[in-house]
Amino acid sequence: MTQTSNMPDMHQAEAIPASVRAEVDRLLQTGDLFRYTAAENSPVTLLEQEFAAAMGSKFALAVSSCSAALFLSLKALGLPRDARVLIPGFTFAAVPSAVIHADCIPVLCEVGDNYRIDIADFDRRLDHSIDAVIVSHMRGHTSDMDAILDLCAKRNVPVVEDAAHSLGTTWNGRKIGTLGRVGCFSFQSYKLLNAGEGGILITDDADLVARAVIMSGAYEHNWKKHTGLSEAFEAWQNKLPLYNLRLSNLSAAIIRAQIGEIPRRVMDGRRNHDALASALNQTLWMTVPDALAGESRAPDSIQFNLVDVTDAECKSFITNADRLGVKVQLFGLSKDNARAFWNWEFLPEQVELPQTRRMLMRACDVRLPAKLTLEDVEKVAQALISAASQTFEETRQFGT
Ligand SMILES: *Cc1c(COP(=O)(O)O)cnc(C)c1O
């Protein structure tokens, strides 16, 4: 059996660049941690300017999480209570949760076995009752955004992009998160930029961002520290509730130090993913769905489907992979996975999505951080292939 001790650590985060230390020290010495204390140029404000510039967007608002960004996006769209928001049936529980938090009703659509929104089903469900759409680019997989934007434009339905885990991905050369009315990103530790917690929304819509800024907790005249928006703000002063979802200067400093790392992390992540995908695709049991034509991903994990296998075989594959040092998560197999829609028991009504369920019962997820070398990736490939041949060859040979 392969030694597991020489397997790479797939869960440990990358070190935060040392260049941030002087700034963190300054913040600790001055105690200046609240974004609105300084008269101008607080680290949170600078992060917003730098992130908007990097994405080519007019405005950015940094907040406490991507969930907070999604919630504020729906609130800032001015959706009435019980508005219906169409979301994919394969996403993280944070997405339906943000919809419910915003007093709206999540409506789920089917996802294909390539993890992308089933456009025919999306079109069918995008009827007159739908007031907004959240497209979740799950694990960086991009659905057919041309079709989605087209269908939504025809019905005048605003699109919010959940790009929490898709920073660096492009669709026909355009940055994911800039295609819809609002794009939301996460700075939680498993995402491309790691501050432990945090999020940001980007948009070109001045009025929308003004509402989001006020609701994020820019009370009294703190909105004046968001430049270029005074007309929009004057209209909304005192008209909106304050949810206090701000980001702290300390988190902003930690994120700013990593913005320059984005291109390297994207390139290395893609290299690692593509190397592992081509190894797995050579087996009979594991298949990595192709990217769509317009899509260029920034992956830090890999998803593949087990082909022609039983639930029991899936379970022993996971056990065998674990023994060889690779943690495989099969989305639908555990009782508590937050990405399996049937575990969202908090939804106002339970739904069935047979196609999405079939995918979730065979789709595996393995973390593949950008810091891994190609040698590390080769070890991961060997472990997964050995686990698969142990599991599936044995059971086939002896019958089950
Ligand atoms: C991580 C993630 C979120 C939630 O981000 P938080 O910052 O933890 O709220 C939402 N959607 C997707 C697809 C994610 O991967």
Place of tokens 């007159």: 128
| Residue among 101, 162, 182 whose CB has most ligand 1 atoms within 8 A, to mutate | 162
Q: What are phi and psi of 60, to 5 degrees?
A: -140, 145
Give 207: exposed, middle or buried? Use CB within 10 Å, 0-12, 13-18, 19+: middle
Q: Distances in Å between the alpha carbon of 336 and those of 340, 341, 342, 358?
A: 8, 10, 10, 17
CA atoms within 13 A on the CB side of 328: 29
| pLDDT of the residue at 378 | 97
Ligand 1, atom nearest to 186 Cα: 7
Tell how far the Cα of 25 is from the centroid of ligand 1, in angstroms.
29
Q: Distances in Å between the alpha carbon of 2 and those of 8, 188, 219, 317?
A: 13, 33, 59, 15
Confidence category of residue 393, pLDDT binned at 50, 70, 90? confident
- The model's pLDDT over 30-40, given as tens digits with 9 standing for 90+, comes to 999 999 999 99
- Which residues face 108 on adjacent strands? 87
Residue 143 and residue 289 in contact, taking contact as beta carbons nearer than 8 Å: no
Tell how far the Cα of 203 is from the centroid of ligand 1, in angstroms.
18
DSSP per residue over 123-182, as a string? HHH-STTEEEEEEE-GGG----HHHHHHHHHHTT--EEEE-TT-TT-EETTEETTSSSSE
- The ligand 1 site (C-beta within 6 Å) comprises 65-67, 91-92, 94-95, 136, 138, 162, 164-165, 186, 188, 199
Ligand 1, atom nearest to 198 Cα: 7
Least confident of 107-111, 219-223, 312-316: 219-223
Continuous H helices in the chain: 21-30, 43-55, 66-76, 94-101, 119-125, 145-154, 206-215, 230-236, 249-256, 262-281, 311-323, 354-360, 374-388, 394-398
Domains belonging to the chain, first-starting first, are: 20-260 (3.40.640.10), 262-398 (3.90.1150.10)
Tell how far the Cα of 134 is from the centroid of ligand 1, in angstroms.
13
- The model's pLDDT over 333-383, given as tens digits with 9 standing for 90+, comes to 988 999 999 999 999 989 999 999 999 999 999 999 999 999 999 999 999
Residue 98 and residue 124 in contact, taking contact as beta carbons nearer than 8 Å: no
Q: Which residues of 32-71 are buried (b: 16+ CB within 10 A; e: fewer)?
A: ebebbeeeeebbbbbbbebbbeebebebbbbbbbbbbbbb
- The model's pLDDT over 194-236, given as tens digits with 9 standing for 90+, comes to 999 999 999 999 999 999 999 999 999 999 999 888 888 888 9
Tell how far the Cα of 90 is from the centroid of ligand 1, in angstroms.
13
**CA 364, CA 314: separation in Å to the nearest integer?**
9
Position 397 pLDDT exceeds 70? no
Residue 140 and residue 167 in contact, taking contact as beta carbons nearer than 8 Å: no
DSSP per residue over 270-321, as a string? HHHHHHHHHHHHTSSSEE-PPPPTTEE---SEEEEEE-S--HHHHHHHHHHH
Tell how far the Cα of 138 is from the centroid of ligand 1, in angstroms.
9
**CA 374, CA 268: separation in Å to the nearest integer?**
9
- Which residues face 63 on adjacent strands? 199, 246
Q: Strand pairing of 286-287 and 301-306?
A: antiparallel
Position 398 pLDDT exceeds 60? no
- The model's pLDDT over 54-96, given as tens digits with 9 standing for 90+, comes to 999 999 999 999 999 999 999 999 999 999 999 999 999 999 9
Say what the pTM is. 0.96
Q: Distances in Å between the alpha carbon of 102 and those of 37, 89, 236?
A: 29, 19, 19
Mean pLDDT of the chain: 95
- Decide: helix, strand or coil at residue 341: helix
| pLDDT of the residue at 334 | 85
Read off the tokens for 115.
């993890």
